Structure 1
Amino acid sequence: MIDLYFAPTPNGWKISVMLEESGLDYNIKWVNIGAGEQFEPDFLAISPNNRIPAIVDHDPADGGEPVSIFETGAILLYLADKAEQFLPHDLCGQIAATEWLMWQMGGLGPMMGQHGHFKLYAPERIDYATERYRKEVLRLFGVMNRRLGGHEYLAGEEYSIADIACFPWVQTYKRQEIDLVDFPHVQRWYETLKQREALRRGMAIGRDKINRNPQDDAQVRKTLFGLEE
């Protein structure tokens, strides 16, 4: 059994989707990030960066003590190895999947996160910051669009952890006011992935717990964004 320490965010959904897709047994451990539960000592022992998600595998392959993993890229690679799924077996496919996974972690996720913050949650509009991150998000969508223009999936012709990592961020496009019509290959990829039943199950987890207006609660603003009154 795998314990998934989870909140309904794009990063959290990466791992719930992977677990649904792989069929591995797991149990949700809810972490209320608005209330600051990610700073509690028990959670920090698992995820020292005080970020969700994290997992604890109580049945590791070596038969030893439970192992904990934090950071979504590390978790996805671990689960792909454990399940023997969603990481190509050929060398070039493995390299491509790893490259695009790292691209998401170092680029698409952080840039969309910053754009979303300044556009949706900042207490006052800062045009320079909003536009700077928007331009970078659009550039990254262009990079992804070019890749998908020549390949069915990000790693090539095989659905992989790279696609699983990118989908939850791309699905925020409406709130971030990104027009997928401008990125037809991304749009084709997105609509294809949306039909996967396991992905839909993973993306449905915690939808009823989303706080869509964290900027309206002073304590939540302080906890999530470090903003004092």
Structure 2
Amino acid sequence: MSDLSAFPITQKWPAIHPDRIQLYSLPTPNGVKVSIMLEETGLPYEAHLVSFQTNDQLTPEFVSLNPNNKIPAIIDPNGPGGKPLPLFESGAILVYLAEKTGKFLPADPVQRYTTLQWLMFQMGGVGPMFGQLGFFHKFAGKDIEDKRPRDRYVAETRRLLGVLDKHLTGRQWVMGDDYTIADMATLPWVRSLMQVYEAADLIGINDFSQVLRVLDAFLARPAVQAGLNQPPRN
């Protein structure tokens, strides 16, 4: 049996199944990227809820795993060389799990780097910009009387959606016929625009029919449906 006792985070979130990947997360757009990937690959995992309501992400135990105090983070007890691997940053985790399983990241070098290109598009653009829109439209920033910050992120969100919509024209997924980590990274953010941030009308989501088409296909996948609810909220 794997011994994870060297990791302080296991003191706050004990591993019932230490031989499985330990996921420390919350069902946010960034969090569900990894839970969806774990469901899609079929890798055994144990999910631990990191509650923002009680500032779990700021506790010494969590920071010992991710000094940037953001979810998600994992410990793979069977990492490279058979040793436990702690890892944070959702994009890095997606690449790691893809390489571990040989799934959802093409082996062909051109296709591989193109997939990573679109993963970086999400990490550097979609996530930060959509998240700021959510802050200024749905959360604390909505009370700011000056709407110029909100409008800036509305415009940037529409621009990014336009880039994605054009790219998806004639393609089943971001990488064409192949479903990849680029889809798992990007589409949860589009879902959150509509369901969490309640910004569908604000951004004119119906202007992006290709994005909506691919989002529907994504949400219909059983592994996506399962991953969207991991870890379960207490």
Normalised TM-score (structure 1):
0.87
Unaligned runs of 5+ residues in structure 1 are 210-229
Match for residue 53 of structure 2 among 25, 34, 45: 34
Corresponding residue for 1:184? 209
CA distance in 2, matches of 1:11, 1:43: 17
Structure 1 contact 148–186 (Cα < 8 Å) conserved: yes
Mark the CA change 1:91 to 1:150 in structure 2 (over 3 Å): closer, same or farther. farther
Structure 1 contact 115–134 (Cα < 8 Å) conserved: yes
Q: For residues 1-229 of structure 1, what are the structure 2 equivalents within 5 Å?
A: 1-64=20-83, 66-121=84-139, 122=141, 123-174=143-194, 175-177=198-200, 178-206=203-231, 208=233
Superposed CA offset, 1:62-95 (max 9, x none): 112x111110110000010111100011112101
Structure 2 contact 29–188 (Cα < 8 Å) conserved: yes
Structure 1 contact 93–156 (Cα < 8 Å) conserved: no
Deviation at 1:207, TM superposition (A): 6.3
CA distance in 2, matches of 1:114, 1:162: 21
CA distance in 1, matches of 2:59, 2:193: 32
Deviation at 1:96, TM superposition (A): 1.3
User: How large is the Cα RMSD of the aligned pairs?
Assistant: 1.4
Structure 2 contact 49–232 (Cα < 8 Å) conserved: no
Structure 1 contact 6–54 (Cα < 8 Å) conserved: yes
Unaligned runs of 5+ residues in structure 2 are 1-19
Superposed CA offset, 1:151-174 (max 9, x none): 221123210000000111010232
Question: What is the identity percentage for the equivalent residue pairs of Structure 1 and Structure 2?
Answer: 41
CA distance in 2, matches of 1:99, 1:196: 24
Structure 1 contact 119–125 (Cα < 8 Å) conserved: no
Structure 2 contact 134–193 (Cα < 8 Å) conserved: no
Partner of 2:53: helix, strand, or coil? helix
Structure 1 contact 96–156 (Cα < 8 Å) conserved: no
Corresponding residue for 2:15? none
CA distance in 1, matches of 2:46, 2:170: 38
Structure 1 contact 145–186 (Cα < 8 Å) conserved: yes
Aligned residues: 208
Partner of 1:172: helix, strand, or coil? helix
Partner of 1:35: helix, strand, or coil? coil
Partner of 1:4: helix, strand, or coil? strand
Mark the CA change 1:56 to 1:154 in structure 2 (over 3 Å): closer, same or farther. same
| AA matched with 1:165 | A
Normalised TM-score (structure 2):
0.85
| AA matched with 2:190 | V
Aligned structure 1 segments of 4 or more residues deviating by more than 4 angstroms: 206-209
Structure 1 contact 111–136 (Cα < 8 Å) conserved: yes
Corresponding residue for 1:223? none
CA distance in 1, matches of 2:231, 2:44: 18
CA distance in 1, matches of 2:225, 2:28: 14
